[in-house]
Chains A and B, each alone.
Chain A
Amino acid sequence: MHPNLSDILGAGQKPSFHSSPMGSMLGNLPSFDPHNFSQLRPSDPSNPSKMVPSTYRPTHSRTLPPPDQVRATEAKNILIGNIYQRAEEKLRSKRAATEHLIPEHGCKQTRPSTS
Chain B
Amino acid sequence: MFKTNNVASRIFERQIRTPAPGTSVHSARRFYENLVPSFTIYDVECPDHSFFKFTDDGQYFVCFSRNRQDLIVYRPTWLSFSCKGEDCDNNQELPPQAKRFESFFTQLYVKPLASCNELICKDFFLYMESNQYGIFATSTAQIQDARGTDGAILGVPSFEKITIHIFRLEDGFKLDEKVFHNDCVNLTHNMGAFLYDDLLAVVSLRYQTIHILQIRDSGNLVDVRAIGAYCREDDELFLNSSSQLAGNRGDLVDNGTNHDQPNSNNSFLSGIKQRLLSFIFREIWSEETDQTQRVQCLKKKFYFHFQDYVDLVILKVQFLDRHHLLIKFGSVDVGASRNTDQLPAFFAVYNMETTEIVAFYQNAADELYLLFERFCDHFHATSINSMYMNFISSHSNNIHALEQLKSMKNKATSVSQFVKKMLSSLPLNCQSMSPSPYFDQSLFRFDEKLISATDRPRQSTDHPIRFISRRQPNILKFKIKTGPEFGGADGRSKKYSHFLFHPAWPLALSFIQPSLFLPPSAVNIHFRR
Contacts and interface: CB of A to CB of B under 8 A. Distances in A.
Interface residues of B, number: 21
Given A97-B286, A98-B286, A102-B282, A79 B371 contact: yes
A80 B283 CA distance: 19
A82 B282 contact: no
A105 B355 CA distance: 12
B358 A83 contact: yes
Interface in A61-105: 76-80, 82-84, 86-87, 90-91, 94, 96-98, 102, 105
Q: Identify whether the interface residues of A are mostly helix, strand, loop, or mixed.
A: helix
A106 B286 CA distance: 21
B286 A86 contact: no
Contact of A94 (B286, B324, B367, B378): B286
A83 B282 contact: no
Interface in B328-369: 349, 354, 356, 358-359, 367
Contacts of B375: 78-79, 82
Given A77-B321, A82-B371, A105-B354, A97 B287 contact: yes
A78 B354 CA distance: 19
Interface string B277-299: 00000110111110000100000
B320 interface: yes
A96 B289 contact: yes
B367 A79 contact: no
Interface string B198-218: 000000000000000000000
A84 B358 CA distance: 7
A83 B359 contact: yes
A110 to B, nearest CB: 20
Given A80-B321, A98-B286, A86 B379 contact: no
Contacts of B321: 76-77, 80
Given A78-B375, A79-B375, A97 B359 contact: no
A5 B356 CA distance: 58
Contacts of B289: 96-97
A83 B287 contact: no
Contacts of A77: 320-321, 378
Contacts of B354: 105
Contacts of B371: 79, 82-83
A113 to B, nearest CB: 14
Given A83-B371, A86-B367, A78 B378 contact: yes
Contacts of B288: 97
Given A76-B321, A86-B359, A86-B367, A91 B286 contact: yes
Contacts of A94: 286-287
B358 A87 contact: yes
A102 B321 CA distance: 24
Contacts of B324: 80
Nearest to B291: A99
A86 B370 CA distance: 12
A87 B320 contact: no
B361 to A, nearest CB: 10
Interface string B81-119: 000000000000000000000000000000000000000
A83 B325 CA distance: 12
Contacts of A90: 283, 286
Given A94-B287, A105-B356, 9 more contacts: A77-B321, A80-B321, A82-B371, A83-B371, A84-B358, A90-B286, A97-B286, A97-B289, A97-B294
